[in-house]
Chains A and B, each alone.
Chain A
């Protein structure tokens, strides 16, 4: 018998396990989570955390009018606003449903690009957000806990060294920590996607993902 005829024989197979799933199919049951939906949820959480930071910094900005602190807070607030905007743009672009007319290659490219964008965004945010938060936090702590004016405190060489060391150490730590955390989260997915994209493109080496999301 030919391969085609053998394949046709498989049409006759019965599978009671699967048939019962169809008989008991309940569309209202919660669906298995689509990987892009996981990313959307993660981004939603990220945006909420950023919003909390935004509110807290705005309150401090209004209540404590000390210019060095306010300058730091303005930098933070602008950065957070940029973060929320970037997250929102990507969040909005992700469609969490499978759209039938999309080919397998396009679907995988879409997943790949989304994962890469989200990873880059997290690294960029981590790079500045945490170190600047620490320095601003230190200023705020001084403002609350000491009678010494902030401007005087800032002019001390020891304070400047403390901040410089804080930033010099914290920026790379934040960068590598976020990079390694996101690598742990996305690496397996990205590798699987890259392998399949590469095979579909028929091009050896790294997958070239140029399609729009």
Chain B
């Protein structure tokens, strides 16, 4: 499969990467680093992509593994507030968009693992898929998800 094909698929699914890097990056610089890192590792892993799962699921896995690996390399004091001075541009900013950004900020205040769990869930993955991607039991996913939802909902009420 060619480079052009790879880039096309990434472009179609780049919302996945945007959302994940926005949940984990501490600043604009790290956001770019994470994005680049994910692209490079996805490209390295691309020859091994057999199409057994959808490209988006594969990209999710690559992204989350890259993020956890990369963040260890430059661990600093974690910053869970608003992202940076160059936020993602939301077209036609509206009440809904503001609520979406508030949700993003609330999720950023969860633990690193919980951020992954809830973002997988919100993107439509079932508990068995989340369990497989993270390497934990389905029951553990259910427990974590329940707790995450409660935390997010409390944070949104504040």
Chain A residues proximal to chain B, CB less than 8 Å: 1, 3-7, 9-19, 21-22, 25, 27, 29, 31-35, 97-108, 111, 188-189, 192-193, 196, 199-202
Contact = CB atoms under 8 A, between A and B. Distances in A.
Contacts of B7: 22, 25
B49 A100 contact: yes
A98 B122 CA distance: 25
A189 B19 CA distance: 25
Contact of B31 (A18, A35, A99, A192): A18
Interface string B1-42: 001000100110011011101100000100111011101110
Contacts of B65: 98, 100, 102, 104, 107
B44 interface: yes
A-B pairs, 7 with minimum CB distance = A103-B135, A105-B135, A9-B100, A7-B122, A13-B88, A15-B88, A6-B103
Contacts of A7: 19, 100, 103, 119, 122-123
A57 B11 CA distance: 58
| Majority secondary structure of chain B interface residues (helix, strand, loop or mixed) | helix
Interface of B: 3, 7, 10-11, 14-15, 17-19, 21-22, 28, 31-33, 35-37, 39-41, 43-45, 48-49, 58, 61-62, 64-66, 68-73, 75, 86, 88-91, 96-97, 99-104, 111-113, 116, 119, 122-123, 132-136, 140, 143, 149, 152-153, 156
Nearest to A11: B15
Contact of B100 (A10, A33, A34): A10
Contacts of A3: 103, 122, 149, 152-153, 156
Given A6-B103, A10-B19, A17-B86, A189 B72 contact: yes
Nearest to A4: B122
A103 B134 contact: yes
A108 B68 contact: yes
Contact of B39 (A21, A102, A103, A104): A21
A200 to B, nearest CB: 5
Contacts of B15: 10-11, 13
A98 B66 contact: yes
A100 B99 contact: no
B41 A98 contact: yes
A202 B141 CA distance: 10
Contact of B99 (A6, A19, A104, A193): A6
B29 to A, nearest CB: 10
Contacts of A4: 122
A111 B72 CA distance: 11
B103 to A, nearest CB: 4
A57 B28 CA distance: 53
11 contacts: A3-B153, A14-B90, A18-B14, A21-B36, A32-B70, A35-B72, A97-B41, A103-B133, A104-B116, A189-B72, A193-B72
Contact of B40 (A1, A16, A27, A196): A27
